[in-house]
Amino acid sequence: MAVTHSDSELATETRFEPGDAAAFFRSHYTSLCRLAYLLLGNHATAEEVVMEAFVRAFPRWDRIGEMDRPDAYLRKVVTHLCRSRFRRIRIELRANALFAQAREEPLSTPMEKRDIRNQVWRLVQDLPPRQRACVVLKYFEDLPELEIADILGCSVGTVKSQLFKARTKLAHELEGENGGEAT
Amino acid sequence: MKDVDKLIRETLKTIGGEYAPRPSAAENLLNRRIRIRRVTRFGRNGLILASLLIILAITVPALVADLTGDEDQPLTTQPGPEQQIREPATLPESRTLRDVPWEKIGKGWLIALYVNDVFTEDRDEEGSTVLYLIDSQGVLYEVTRWGPTQKVGDKAPYEIIDWSPTGKSALLSWRDRRSDEAGVWEIDLRSTKTIDLNQSNFGSKGDTERALYIKGYTWPTGSNLVLSRTSPGSALMRSDREGNVLSTLGESGLSGEDEFRRWLYRPNGREVVIGTPEGLRLVRIDGSIVRELPTPPDCHPVRWWTSNSILAACHDDQNFFQLWDVHLSGAAPSPITELPNRVPGVDLGYYDAVVLDDQIFLQWIGDCCAGGVERLISRMESASLITPPEGGLPPVGAIDGCCNYLLTVSGHYLAVWASNVSEPGGSIYFLDPGGENHRPVLLGPEHVTAVTSVVAFPSLLPEK
């Protein structure tokens, strides 16, 4: 089947035989970890969640592998697992997000760009959960609103309104912090 | 706004792109974990159904009342459910329909759908869907069961919409998984006869743009229905069983959104409290407004708190929930819980509460599906998590500890539905908040889908 959302470093039309779970894992592990990280703000937890998604999926790969979009299915599982982790990691999340923000920025990035990126990343992390999920799925995964709605189990209208609220909030915050230049 | 779009996209692509965990290192770990966990479960309908069921389950049905209907309409015939199915897993031990003490059904009772599908590494087998009544002591009564849906035309319920105020009938959503056809049944719990409430009657009466959904029973006989309309404009209505609208309880110009999700009938049956984007409103059943109740905006009624006040869940523009005690007299409301600490992506606050032995127990919710039960230590002060129970319960594959939803008080226990967020189904157990004498009630054995929908009896008795 065609895999349309594989890692950027791999061919986007890579074809796998149904049942080739290991190949699917190798080609999608990184991108799913990235999605989980952007939703959770924590590397270790992101990898744990993606692992859990594959542990659950592999024993039934004969069915999942035959889906038109097993990548979409796994993305949905990962998104839901991320959301279920929020409660358990709330304290760690807060601490790690702050730590990660300071730790993970490459020093070679020009200061101004890095500052703006930090600002945006912090604001995205401060968004309410559903808004953040919509933002990550749209801007990082480049998914259409219909697919975001499917993943989050809500209507397209809700996705639109969540994205609108998120964008408005980010624009407002950035405008406030940068003297009106962001919008 | 375009610049903001660009900034967000660049930021996320950069931050995400800089993170490059290696699959080769993870692959060995994955293989080890799969060997350890030889069997795992995945529901047949995947996450959409799971999310839907979980959200619906925490929305323990609104309590409805209506004085206009005199008698329940007689239920006519539909083919009865299959009775002779080879089950892939042993069903829980239960009493029979003949044993149900109908006159005792009341607060603390539950009605639940149990799906006996088995999924393991080697097996993928559909079983029956069983409807159980559960009394306040945790005794199961099998009402009826439906066989696997193996061909077009096989229908099985997947959600309990509401339980009638008389306790003797229920509304069930059904689905034909082979054709994607769906609809609503009403089942007479005593005879197990079902009638199909043809949703097309509700959606197309002279107006193809109109979308009406059956949401519950009216009060006290359940002779009429509560509907919601999402287009044109959002509305909450009463109708008869043919979809003829009797009155509109609330209406807004917003289409596409379900603005009036919860309602609570007054025990006198003549008035209803409805939640609106502006706050709570007390209306007569003909739709005329009695008064707007002073509350924060965006509230919905949850349950009766005292004889003169209701418990309301109100949320701010970021969907953080707070519980309020709202007086129907119009007196100032008082908050019961604090707002959550607003940690992003974590804590959405408190959504429901019950009182047991003079203590208040709260339903905490996280985004989308997470949930737990907490004890309120003192008014507006921090609460302690009491689910999942320390030490757990007997083997239950469906409980992973993240999703515990308070249903009602049953005897001296809290009835809780526990689910795994990424899989359909779950288990019902009675939580002993004062000790460790928790009781399994309807458990999902490992590999079995188990409880997919549960509703508490719609009592109008106040909690306090």
Output the tens digit of pLDDT for each of chain A's 183 residues.
333 332 332 323 333 444 577 888 888 999 999 999 998 887 877 888 888 788 777 767 777 777 778 888 888 888 877 765 653 443 333 333 333 333 333 333 444 666 788 888 888 888 877 788 899 999 999 998 888 888 887 777 778 888 888 888 888 888 776 554 443
Summarize pLDDT for B72-92 with one digit per residue, the tens: 333 333 334 444 668 888 999
Scan for tokens 């049905």, then name that residue.
B61
- Measured between beta carbons, which residues in chain A are less than 8 angstroms from residue B343? 90, 93-94
Q: Which of A120, A139, A150 sits opposite B48 (nearest CB)?
A: A150
Is B148 within 8 Å of B127 (Cβ atoms)?
yes
pLDDT category at B138 given cuts 50, 70, 90 is: very high
In terms of Cα–Cα distance, which of B169, B167, B188, B165 is closest to B269?
B165
Residue A121 one-letter amino acid: W
Asked whether residue B280 carries a pLDDT value surpassing 50, the answer given is yes
Summarize pLDDT for B343-390 with one digit per residue, the tens: 554 577 888 999 999 999 999 887 545 678 888 887 777 667 677 666
pLDDT category at B203 given cuts 50, 70, 90 is: low
Q: Provide the token pair at B57.
A: 């389950």
User: Are residues B343 and A90, on separate chains, in Cβ contact within 8 Å?
Assistant: yes
Percent of chain B clearing pLDDT 90 (strictly above): 36
Q: Which of A106, A140, A170 sits opposite B18 (nearest CB)?
A: A106
pLDDT for B414: 95
Asked whether residue B196 carries a pLDDT value surpassing 60, the answer given is yes
User: Are residues A26 and B27, on separate chains, in Cβ contact within 8 Å?
Assistant: yes
Summarize pLDDT for B396-440 with one digit per residue, the tens: 444 455 678 899 999 999 999 887 544 556 889 999 888 778 888
pLDDT for B69: 33
Inter-chain CB pairs, A–B, below 8 Å: 212
User: Are residues B46 and A120, on separate chains, in Cβ contact within 8 Å?
Assistant: no
Type and span of the H or E element at B133:
strand B129-134
Residue B30 half-sphere exposure, CB side, CA atoms within 13 Å? Answer: 25
User: Are residues B4 and A63, on separate chains, in Cβ contact within 8 Å?
Assistant: no
Three-state DSSP at B431 gives: strand
User: Are residues B47 and A183, on separate chains, in Cβ contact within 8 Å?
Assistant: no
Examine residue B388 and say whether the peptide bond preceding it is cis (omega within 30 degrees of 0): yes
Whole-model pTM: value is: 0.63
Mean pLDDT of chain B: 78
